[in-house]
Structure 1
């Protein structure tokens, strides 16, 4: 088994739909067994701009991490899906074992 994590921003969209929602729907369609989407509080990336929530208005360009744990072959197809939707998303993977 492998874990795959996709690092995005809340403001990333695909055809006017939040990218993390598009990834979730397309992953369901391709038979990915499960997914967790985590919204972060604050962070920064390659552009060095800080992303965070406005504490008074509750909005901002928060970091988002999409996590999938899947068999390697299906996981590779998931990565190709992500690449087809957003070329500059960061995708990392690592081996996992169920305890």
Structure 2
């Protein structure tokens, strides 16, 4: 069964070594999103990137000690995403968050 709906994509750009209460920040965000009942979340590790300080982060062998860029994506209704933003305010000390409209097509068993 195909279920189309309008939604919102929350994209969070942080560093792999960022922490929240002693655990990786990306993990804490995903677990909190699950706890809050959001529809789904995925974490991607970047191979190359730079942020506000213009420092290049790369996965090249000589720089493996650098904190790699990480992107957490969460898709849900605009209302649920809006409710989740204050939680992120408490968790993120350095990073970037973007919001986009998304048209979701979910496939489910009949």
TM-score, L = length of structure 2: 0.81
Structure with a larger share of its residues in strand = 2
| 1:83–1:89 contact (8 Å) kept in structure 2 | no
Q: 1:48 aligns with which of 54, 72, 87?
A: 54
Aligned: 1:96 with 2:102: yes
Counterpart in the other structure of 2:24: 18
Aligned: 1:75 with 2:81: yes
Q: How many pairs does the alignment contain?
A: 99
2:40 is paired with a residue whose SS is coil
The 2-side partners of 1:93 and 1:11 are apart by: 23
Unaligned runs of 5+ in 1: none
Question: Considering only aligned residues, what root-mean-square deviation do their CA atoms show, in Å?
Answer: 1.7
Aligned: 1:35 with 2:52: no
Greater C-alpha Rg: 2
Counterpart in the other structure of 2:69: 63
TM-score, L = length of structure 1: 0.89
* CA separation of 1:57 and 1:50: change in aligned 2, threshold 3 A: closer
Deviation (angstroms), 1:91: 0.7
Deviation (angstroms), 1:87: 3.6
| 1:2–1:69 contact (8 Å) kept in structure 2 | yes
